[in-house]
Chains A and B, each alone.
Chain A
C-alpha cells in the first residue's frame, strides 16, 4: 500500500469523483436546509456512506421518524446491496482486516468500478481495490462537507431542494429501465405502493412495508413466468 497504488487507482475513480462531489454537495446542502450543522453531514457520510440512503436519511431525520421506521426504510432502500456482495465474494477473499472496510464501502458506484476494472501491471490487486474504495469515500465526504458548509453560509430560499431525492431515484430508474429486459417489477412496485399509499395514507412512510411485501410476493408468484421469458429471450 503506497502512493503508487493510489496514483494508479486515481484515474479510474475520476467519474466517481465528479458524481460524488455533486451528489454529495446536494446532500450536504439539504442537511443544512433542514437545520443540521455540517458536522452531522460529515458524520453521516463517514458512518453510513450511502447516496440514496442518506438522501432518505435527511427526510427521516427532519420528520423525526421512529427508530423502527428508520431501520425498515433503510433496509428497504439498501436491499439491492445484497446482490453486490454476491459478486464480490471472490474479489475480497484474503484481504484480511481491510475486507471489513471493503464490505462497508460497497456502494453502487464502487461496486460498478470494482466489477469492471483490473489493476495495472505491477500493482497488487487487493491494494488497488482498497485504494479505489477509499478514494471514493473521500470524495463523498468532501462533497457532503462542501455542500453543508455552503448551505450554512449562503442563505438563499431553499424551498423545494428536497426534490433532489426524487430526481436521484428517477435517474436510477431510467438507467435500470434501459438496461432491463423485463419491466414487470417496475409496475409491480409502482402499483402495489400506490395501493398501500391510498389505503394507509402517507404518514411516516409506513405504507412502504406492506408495499415491499406485495413486491416480493408478486415476484415469487411470477417467477415461473419471468424465468421462462428469460430463457426465450
Chain B
C-alpha cells in the first residue's frame, strides 16, 4: 500500500474506534436511560465477538498435512493452559507466541 492508503486506513480505524467509545456519551448523557435490549446485548455480545475473532485469526489454517494445523492447535492449547495456570497475560501471550514461532520455524 502507498503512504496515503496506509494513512487512510489508520484514520478510518481511529475514527471508528473513537465512535464506538464515544457513542454512549452522545446518546445517553442527557439523562436518558439506555434501552434494556442495549444493556442485554452489551452483556452477552463481547464474549461472542471474541469467539468470532479467534475463528478469524485461525482462518488460514489448512488441513492437508499435520504441519498446517498442528502448530496452531498446540500453541492455542499452550496459551489456554498457561493462562489457566498462571493468569498472567504477558506470560500467556509471549510464551504461546514464542512456542508457535519455534514450532513453525524449527519443528514443522
Residues in A lying within 8 Å of B, measured CB to CB: 18-19, 22-23, 26, 36, 40, 43-44, 47-50, 52-54, 56-57, 60-61, 64-65, 67, 70-71, 74-86, 88-89, 92-93, 99, 103-104, 106, 157-161, 163-177, 180, 182-190, 192-194, 197, 202, 205, 207-208, 211-212, 215-216, 219-220, 223, 226-227
In the complex, are the beta carbons of A22 and B49 less than 8 A apart? no
A36 to B54, CA, bound (A): 25
With A44-B10, A47-B14, A161-B101 known as contacts, the answer to whether A176 contacts B21 (CB < 8 A) is no
Instruction: Determine the chain A residues whose CB is within 8 A of the CB of B38 once the complex forms.
Output: 82, 86
* Known contacts A61-B1, A70-B13: A167-B101 contact under CB 8 Å: no
User: Secondary structure at chain B's binding surface: helix, strand, loop or mixed?
Assistant: helix
Q: Are A164 and B21 in contact (CB under 8 A)?
A: no
Give the contacting residue for B20; candidates A43, A75, A192, A194; CB below 8 A.
Answer: A75
Of the residues B6, B8, B48, B57, contact of A186 by C-beta under 8 Å: B48
A-B contacts, 29 listed (Cβ < 8 Å): A19-B89, A48-B17, A52-B53, A74-B17, A76-B53, A78-B21, A79-B20, A80-B49, A82-B23, A83-B46, A86-B39, A93-B29, A106-B21, A160-B97, A160-B104, A161-B101, A165-B57, A166-B58, A167-B92, A167-B96, A171-B89, A171-B92, A185-B44, A186-B51, A197-B55, A202-B60, A215-B45, A219-B44, A220-B37
Q: Which of B9, B56, B79 contacts A208 (CB 8 A)?
A: B56
| Distance in angstroms between the alpha carbons of A112 and B81 in the assembled complex | 24
Which chain A residues lie closer than 8 Å to B83 at the CB level?
Answer: 170-171, 174-175
Interface centre among A50, A81, A165 (most CB of B within 10 A): A81
Count of A-B contacts judged by CB separation below 8 Å: 252
| Of the residues B14, B34, B45, B90, contact of A185 by C-beta under 8 Å | B45
Least CB distance from A44 to B in Å reads: 6
Nearest residue in A to B100 (C-beta to C-beta)?
A: A163
Q: What residues of chain A lie closer than 8 Å to B65, measured between beta carbons?
A: none
- Flag whether B66 is at the interface (Cβ < 8 A): no
Q: How far is the CA of A56 from the CA of B83 in the complex (A)?
A: 21
In the complex, the answer to whether B46 meets A173 with C-beta atoms within 8 Å is no
Given contacts A61-B6, A160-B104, 18 further A-B contacts (CB under 8 A): A22-B93, A47-B14, A53-B17, A56-B53, A64-B1, A74-B13, A75-B20, A86-B28, A89-B24, A163-B97, A170-B92, A175-B83, A185-B48, A189-B49, A193-B51, A216-B45, A219-B45, A220-B41
**B96 surroundings in chain A (CB, below 8 A):** 163, 166-167, 170
